[in-house]
């Protein structure tokens, strides 16, 4: 099932975690590689992805963070 452009979930692939459509590459793996300093080109080469796939993963993550609601429960000294 497509949950966002180029992002799908399937209970039989990576325990239903979001993956890049048509692959078994989890979105969190792509994000982690970029956060770790890999370039778009290196991620694309290593996982046989398109730039559009990487941008879709970033867009998906950005939308999740935008929806996140954080509540302060107390002050820390």
Q: Given pLDDT bands bounded at 50, 70 and 90, which one contains residue 76? A: low
pLDDT (0 to 100) of residue 53: 98
Q: Given pLDDT bands bounded at 50, 70 and 90, which one contains residue 75? A: low
pLDDT (0 to 100) of residue 68: 84
Q: What are the structural domain ranges in the chain?
A: 2-67
**Collapsing DSSP states into helix, strand and coil, what is residue 70?**
coil
pLDDT digits (tens, 9 = 90+) for 10-63: 999 999 999 999 999 999 999 999 999 999 999 999 999 999 999 999 999 999
Question: Considering only the top CATH level, what class is 2-67?
Answer: mainly alpha
C-alpha of 27 from chain center: 3
């Amino acid at each position: 099932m497509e949950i966002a452009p180029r992002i799908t979930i399937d209970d039989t692939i990576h325990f239903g975690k979001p993956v890049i459509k048509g692959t078994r590459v989890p979105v969190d793996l792509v994000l982690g590689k970029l956060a770790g300093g890999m370039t778009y080109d290196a991620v694309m080469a290593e996982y046989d992805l398109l730039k559009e796939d990487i941008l879709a993963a970033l867009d998906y993550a950005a939308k999740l963070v935008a929806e996140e609601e954080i509540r302060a429960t107390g002050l820390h000294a």
